[in-house]
Structure 1
Amino acid sequence: MADGADAFCLREVLVAFTACLGEQREVRVDPYLAGWKGLIRFLNTLGTVFSFISKDAVTKIQILENYRNSDQREKYLTVQSMVEYELANGLVDLKKRSEHPDSGCRTFLRLHRALRWLQMFLEGLRTGEEDSKTSVICSEAYNASLANYHPWIIRKAATVAFYVLPTRNTFLENMNVGTADEAVAMLGDALPFICKVYDITEELYAQHKLLDLP
């Protein structure tokens, strides 16, 4: 397990995703990225199994942080303001990825899809029995979410990698909040916020027909 600044703590993820939600159902970008950095630290505690997801997420976070540090930073304060700004200014490739492959909308969508997988996986860990097979939990979550957007070769490699996942208790211990029961309780607190952030984003992207950006 990593230590120091690189150590994962589920409580920090909970705080970040709680801070994502504005009073008007906005999703704030900065705490969203902070929450994702925490999730990446969690993935990294599990070795190289999830590197194909965590490495891509790191790249996407950097792209969005660059927008937040640019002259247009205020346009990227929330997901809602980002979508409005990029659509109004023709900054999104709606049919073919060509001129704006790293648009904020497209980049955020990739994190959004991966968040769905993590949300389902963590929910499976929370509700599973002590002897539940994490490979099954992870595969079911992956097949119901991210697998739809990956080519066959990646899907196959991921399925094979999931078979060597550690036990459910090892996952819970890696959450750094105490006992397995305490980790389960913390997941119960965290997942509704992650789910709400996901649902608001999904609704926004569906409204603007952005869920299938190339």
Structure 2
Amino acid sequence: MANSENEKILRKMADAFKELAATVNSQTADMEVAPFSRACSFVSPLFGCLGIAFKFAEMDYVAKVGDLAEASKSIATLKVVLDRDIEGNCVRKAGSHTRNLLRVKRGLDMVRVLFEQILATEGDSLKDPASKAYAQVFAPHHGWAIRKAVAAGMYALPTKAQLMKKLNEDEASARIQMQHYVAASSSVILYIDKLFLSRELGIDW
């Protein structure tokens, strides 16, 4: 199992999100919790590959994806997740599935921006792409202490080449999978945002 853990992480991510995006784009079916949480679990190892700067994100993300996977045993779709919490008046409570879904969506969004920045940036450093992704997605929701810890951790990021090695990818194949993930995850993220906004829950909390 040692090496299969990192076998083509990017391909697994891209394929899983392409399937989710197909569901969203067909507009005939609601997104189910089980395939959503499964697709999200493929993103978890990527945070680990980014090192100490994103340790907080990895721990938080993995726990919340785990919660949604557990929820999928009794809740069929993401719509029902939100509606149940609205009925139970616990949408914003720590540990609610809805709150966890919003946090997971933020993790997906951070990776989307990171990949966009990697695709648009020359050179071997991940510091700019990672800093921009963090600043855009996570920083507005984090206190000073976490932002400071992340800034310090940015100096320990792997290089692009080191990241590719950890992901068992060469740059050409990685770029293709990153592009697939960016396109597919954009549809999924938009779908989740719309679920929240259509119920007037907001997405900035």
Indicate the residue corresponding to 1:84 in structure 2.
83
CA shift at 1:170, angstroms?
2.4
The DSSP-based 3-state class of the residue aligned with 1:144 is helix
Worse overlay, 193-202 or 76-85: 76-85
CA shift at 1:6, angstroms?
5.4
Unaligned ranges ≥5, structure 1: none
Q: After TM superposition, which residue ranges in structure 1, 4 or more long, deviate above 4 angstroms?
A: none
Indicate the residue corresponding to 1:190 in structure 2.
181
Which structure features the higher share of helix residues?
Answer: 2
The DSSP-based 3-state class of the residue aligned with 1:126 is helix
Q: TM-score, normalised by structure 2?
A: 0.86
Contact 2:6 2:166 in 1 (8 A): no
Indicate the residue corresponding to 2:40 in structure 1.
36
The DSSP-based 3-state class of the residue aligned with 2:193 is helix
Indicate the residue corresponding to 1:139 in structure 2.
131
Contact 1:17 1:35 in 2 (8 A): yes
The DSSP-based 3-state class of the residue aligned with 1:27 is coil
Contact 2:196 2:203 in 1 (8 A): no
CA shift at 1:50, angstroms?
1.8
- Gap change, CA 1:26 and 1:127, over 3 Å in 2: farther
- Gap change, CA 1:212 and 1:123, over 3 Å in 2: closer
Higher relative CO (Cα under 8 Å, sequence separation at least 6) belongs to: 2
Letter in 2 for 1:78: T
The DSSP-based 3-state class of the residue aligned with 1:186 is helix
- For the residues of structure 2 that align with 1:182 and 1:6, how far apart are their CA atoms? 15
C-alpha RMSD of matched pairs (Å): 2.2
- For the residues of structure 1 that align with 2:8 and 2:147, how far apart are their CA atoms? 26
Unaligned ranges ≥5, structure 2: none
- For the residues of structure 2 that align with 1:128 and 1:90, how far apart are their CA atoms? 46
Q: Number of residues paired by the alignment?
A: 200
